[in-house]
Structure 1
Amino acid sequence: MFFQLINKTLSLVLTYSNAKINIGLNIVEKRPDGFHNIETVFFPIGMRDAIEIADSKEDTDYTFSASGIPIDIDPSENIVVKAYNLIRAKYNFPAQDIHLHKSIPFGAGLGGGSANAAYMIKLLNQKFDLKMTDFEMEELVSQLGSDCAFFIKNKPAFAIEKGEKLTTIELDLKGYYFLLIKPDIHISTPEAYANITPKKTEISLRDLIQQPIENWKATIKNDFEASIFPKHPQLAEIKKELYEQGAVYAAMSGSGSSMFGIFKDEPQILLQWKKQFCWQEQF
């Protein structure tokens, strides 16, 4: 079971929704609908939010509360609530009190909101024995975001089209150290795609990712870096510093602004990084 039963009387259950990084991101073509087809590898990391639900005593469809990083939108617009409403429209179960504790930063390219949506659906599925398959949950949560489906299986995956077409891959980084720095920089989607020229790749990222990690620096790129780094040179500087500290691979995750490095040995956290949001773990 991926959730904990906290209070049997209230049917209070808790789960943790983790973040992801993109290892490589190629923008291969613009679609007729205005979106872009990409290819990327999603990889789960240990950074996580917490989601609690309990049977509600209120005369309402749900209640919502939050803690941690402030959330400045109306609760009805929160993707956790959207996921809850999506499932409640399809299945009959008691109204729930929802609490979200937010630790994954916004605008970081880490998929925190997408993970929240997927884990809400998985939590409801298990608590109320809705018997949804992984495929059914992936189809439903994809209505809320292109990368949401990844978090249903939550295993390393090669993603194409808008990021919703997934193939689970073998990618073992056990023993490597991971360091992520998220500076106080917000990058909008239009800004990220500015000056991007889509281009189909000669060698698929799915093949490149199977090469030794020491090869990735020369072969695996994030296309957004070429567009974003000139406007935000601090990100390019962080990438340079990660390599200087011994990273075997360093890159931006998604459209930023998180930068990460993968190391064979535990890295030293530089003083200037400590002034930013930092996350460190060993895979």
Structure 2
Amino acid sequence: MPTETAYAKLNLALHVRARRADGYHDLESLFAFCTDGDSLSAEPRDDGELTLTIEGDFADDLDPGDDNLVLRAARALQAASGTMLGADLVLDKSLPIASGIGGGSADAAATLRLLVRLWGLRPMDIDFPRVAASLGADVPACLGSQTMFGTGIGERLEPVDLDLAGMPVLLVNPLVPCPTGPVFRGWDGIDRGSLDPQEWRRGRNDLAAPAIALVPEIDEVLAVLKAQLPSLARMSGSGATCFALFGSEAERDAAADRIEADHPDWWTLATSLR
């Protein structure tokens, strides 16, 4: 059965510049992706029907109904390509939902990548940027799952060569949902300046303060991560997942062991950047 990884997304820095009239926000972000994530597999159908089964640690937290981003992505690709084929899709949900690491967006992007192969489509015949953007602001970045500098609402993307591949990273989430909408609405509206993607370590996440106001546990996660002496610890996206970058896998794994022992109710993922 063909499979595709829905790589976990990290916002290494996220600057919110303005609130737009359409309800979105102008932002600047450096997107990076982990080598791990959810897993998607599929079997083809010749009747055009689409089904979705969800398995894995967080399966109970996700609705497999028609509004699921996996099925929405599959329908969008059917429409864009004109194919009469369908698929039985299986999502192994190992990333927590509403967690700031692009779970749903990454799943949608993985669906597009997987079904292009499964259905034997010609990628050059499909307007993938348009299809991806129709599914959500983070889906275009997740489609390529490579380090990118995003502007606009995150859909205007430029590749950035920062040589991040292989960098050890530890993800930690207190397993408290942190919905994106309320976090953005909690932003104080102050433009604190632009993001230079080459100087991303000097950047910030402007959504950290409103996310912590909604989910105070994020502040504890950040404090615990910083106590592990990483090269950087920061919240990703709109939370609640936070990440820490380390100089070696041994340092990362030792930090993961300590946090798992002290906070067995938190979710952790020891991985690396792509």
**What TM-score bracket applies, with the shorter chain setting the length?**
0.7 to 0.9
1-side partners of 2:84 and 2:48: how far apart?
13
- Which position in structure 2 is the counterpart of 1:114? 105
- Which position in structure 2 is the counterpart of 1:232? 215
- Name which of 121, 134, 140 aligns with 1:149: 140
2-side partners of 1:193 and 1:174: how far apart?
30
Contact 1:24 1:205 in 2 (8 A): no
Question: Matched residues, percent identical?
Answer: 25
2-side partners of 1:204 and 1:26: how far apart?
7
Structure 1 residue 278 and structure 2 residue 268: aligned?
Answer: yes
User: How many Å apart are 1:282 and its aligned residue?
Assistant: 3.9
2-side partners of 1:135 and 1:37: how far apart?
27
SS of 1:229's partner is helix
Deviating runs (4+, > 6 A) in structure 1? Answer: none
Structure 1 residue 47 and structure 2 residue 30: aligned?
Answer: no
2-side partners of 1:112 and 1:134: how far apart?
27
- TM-score, normalised to structure 1, is 0.85
Structure 1 residue 66 and structure 2 residue 57: aligned?
Answer: no
User: How many Å apart are 1:250 and its aligned residue?
Assistant: 0.5
User: How many Å apart are 1:152 and its aligned residue?
Assistant: 2.0
Partner deviation per Cα, 1:157-205 (whole Å, 9 max, x = no partner):
0111111111111122345321111112122234312442334454433
Structure 1 residue 28 and structure 2 residue 17: aligned?
Answer: yes
Partner deviation per Cα, 1:35-83 (whole Å, 9 max, x = no partner):
11111111010221121221237x6622221211224425211111111
Number of residues of Structure 1 aligned to a counterpart in Structure 2 = 263
1-side partners of 2:198 and 2:27: how far apart?
15
User: How many Å apart are 1:134 and its aligned residue?
Assistant: 9.8
Paired amino acid for 1:233: P
Which structure has more helix as a fraction of its residues? 2
- Which position in structure 2 is the counterpart of 1:212? none
- Which position in structure 1 is the counterpart of 2:79? 89
1-side partners of 2:63 and 2:186: how far apart?
30
2-side partners of 1:63 and 1:242: how far apart?
40
Contact 1:40 1:205 in 2 (8 A): no
Taking a change above 3 Å as real, the CA distance of residues 55 and 129 of structure 1, as seen in their structure-2 partners, is closer
Contact 1:179 1:261 in 2 (8 A): yes
- TM-score, normalised to structure 2, is 0.87
Stretches of structure 1 that go unaligned for 5 or more consecutive residues are 1-5, 7-12, 210-215
Structure 1 residue 243 and structure 2 residue 232: aligned?
Answer: no
**Which structure is larger by alpha-carbon Rg, 1 or 2?**
1
1-side partners of 2:29 and 2:126: how far apart?
20
Larger relative contact order (Cα-Cα within 8 Å, sequence gap ≥ 6): 2
Contact 1:80 1:116 in 2 (8 A): yes
SS of 2:134's partner is coil
- Superposed CA RMSD: 2.2
